[in-house]
Structure 1
Amino acid sequence: MKIAIFASGNGSNFQSIAEAINDGQLASEIGFVFCDNSSAFVVERARKLNIPIIVFSPKEFCSKTAYEKEILKHLTENNIQLIVLAGYMRIVGSTLLETFKNRMINIHPSLLPQFPGRYGIKEAFEARVKETGVTIHYVDDGVDTGPIIKQEKVPINDNDTLEMVEAKIHQIEHRLYPEVLDKIISKNKEWLLDGKETSTNQCFR
């Protein structure tokens, strides 16, 4: 399956997916990486791995629709079947959602529906909850509200710092995202291409 990875920042989850493909653990091809931030480190990561990188910002367009239509043009030209969000820090609009319904997934650093949004790790830490985690889910028109595919818990110990919690979550993310992608690609390829409805519970346990 040919995928496109969207990222806005460091790109460590992109790196873990690319390495899983290179190691033969994931039967997929990255058509390109899309980034909305030219100074993001993911741009350098993609170039080092010789993976095509497309970079432009919404500020270059008159509207969000125009911005997403340009992205959609690249997705169509490259025969992309699945969009993988890996730290893409923008809410996806209807132009992409309608075309890639049930064919766009995201990873989030909390046990959704708890702590959605950009600061999920920090908010969980400051709330002094005993555990947080990682959620992989399909993307809908809300903020981290799409149907959940897989979750994994991460304990927060009394002596943990915020940096320690972040490190534990990233370690889980880098393992879990390629694993879930492998299951989607190997077991549900036809389902994805047909755009059938998904359940509102975890797809893989």
Structure 2
Amino acid sequence: MLSIGWFSTGRDQAARDLLQVVYRSICSGEIPESEISFVFCSRNRGESTESDLFAEIVDSFKLPLVTFSSATFQAERREKGLQEERKGRSKLIQQWRRDYDREVMRRLGEYDIHLYVLAGYMLIVGEEMCQKYDLINLHPALPGGPKGTWQEVIWQLLENRASEAGAMIHLVTPELDQGSPLTFCRFSLRGEDFDPLWQDLEKKLQVRPLHEVREQEGETNLLFRKIRRQELAQEFPLIVTTIGALARGEIAIKNKQVVTSSGEVLQGGYDLTEKIGQKSIINISH
């Protein structure tokens, strides 16, 4: 039985959807011989409407929910550390992250977990937690692609006039979005569905720069929205297929490396594009 610890900040609909998809896939047997042993949320109940909705989903599945607010843990020290980090000095915030992680690990000490999944967890994990736990993260870009939040990734894709995008599951390291990839999938940003939207963006860029388009339209930009919809259509099957591959022993994490069933180190990640392309898009009730 693969025991899973689920980490999330619970900040939006996507965080709720990811948990629902994986939970239902475990219940249906698509992810075999697995269970979510606990859900950890870095916001306390009552801290935000979105995370409260996330907690309601967890409760409805009768999963243990552990909460510990990152915003209120040594808040002044955290804010000072973030200010110093913006000036290029990261020592204080790294120390704060270490102490926050230690408290999280203390609260989770009773659980015996094989795999820790970060899904919409908006904190950088420190070195001690990365060493102690086998942590994986869903990131909405291909290996070697843009880093940051999904919004930042999409704007970088637009800025670079990218011809393809994708998503990956990677090992978590203290360096943001730089861990070794376990799996990934890709999709084209060209073709009849995308070309008219690129043309529309190019017309706008003839009269104003991209940062103004971003400020004025934000997430309502049609190309931005199209890429996001396609990303989500890939991300849900990717995380289900990846956890399923781990549960079946097709891939494994050994000594902080990704290995195949024969024990060989998997370089560059397992390309699941074809498998995911054969799956129907998972329906989620909103």
The TM-score with structure 2 as length reference comes to: 0.65
Deviation for aligned residue 1:52: 1.6
Q: Which one has a bigger Cα radius of gyration?
A: 2
Higher relative contact order (CA 8 A, sep 6+): 1
Counterpart check, 1:54 vs 2:63 = no
Provide the C-alpha distance between the structure 2 equivalents of 1:94 and 1:196, rounded to a whole number of angstroms.
13
1:70 correspondence with 2:108:
no
Q: For 1:44-63, what per-residue CA distance to the aligned partner results, in whole angstroms no more than 9, with x for missing partners?
A: 22122222211212244343
Displacement of 1:125 in angstroms is: 2.9
Task: Measure, in 2, the Cα distance between the counterparts of 1:104 and 1:80.
Answer: 11
Matches within 5 A, 1:179-198: 179-187=241-249, 192=253, 195=255, 197-198=257-258
Between the two proteins, the alignment pairs up a number of residues equal to: 201
For residue 188 of structure 1, report the CA deviation from its aligned partner.
5.9
Instruction: Report the equivalent of 2:21.
Output: 16
Shift in Å, 1:196: 5.5
**Comparing both structures, which one devotes a greater share of its residues to helix?**
2
SS at match of 1:77: coil
Query: Using the alignment, how far apart are the partners of 1:78 and 1:4 within structure 2?
Result: 9
Two-structure CA RMSD over aligned residues (Å): 2.0
Query: Where does residue 168 of structure 1 map in the other structure?
Result: 230
Q: In the TM superposition, what is the alpha-carbon distance from 1:128 to its structure 2 partner?
A: 2.0
Taking the aligned partners of 2:196 and 2:7, their CA distance within structure 1 comes to 35
Matched to 2:160, the amino acid is A
Q: 1:200: how far off?
A: 6.4
Q: Which runs of 4+ in 1 moved over 6 A?
A: none
| Identical positions, percent | 26
Q: Which amino acid aligns with 1:135?
A: M
Q: Secondary structure at the match of 1:159?
A: helix
Mapping of 1:33-48 within 5 angstroms?
33-38=39-44, 39=48, 40=51, 41-48=53-60
SS of residue paired to 2:108: helix
Partners of 2:138 and 2:178 in 1: CA distance: 12
How big is the shift at 1:23? 1.0
Segments of structure 1 that go 5 or more residues without pairing to the other structure are: none
Distance 1:129 1:196 in 2: 31
What residue identity is the alignment partner of 1:110?
A
Task: Verify the 8 A CA contact 1:110 1:116 in the aligned structure 2.
Answer: yes
CA contact (8 A) 1:147 1:200 kept: no
Q: Quote the residue 2:154 is aligned against.
A: 121
For residues 132-167 of structure 1, the C-alpha deviation after alignment (integer angstroms, 9 at most, x for no partner) is: 111111111211111111111122222342111111
Q: Which amino acid aligns with 1:137?
A: H
Amino acid at match of 1:14: L
> Do the aligned partners of residues 196 and 138 (structure 1) sit closer, same or farther apart at CA in structure 2, a change above 3 Å counting?
closer
5+ long unaligned stretches in structure 2: 75-95, 198-222, 259-264, 272-286
CA contact (8 A) 1:112 1:144 kept: no
TM-score by length of 1: 0.88
CA distance in 1, matches of 2:154, 2:60: 29
Aligned partner of residue 111 in structure 1, secondary structure: coil
Q: The residue matched to 2:173 in structure 1 has which SS?
A: coil
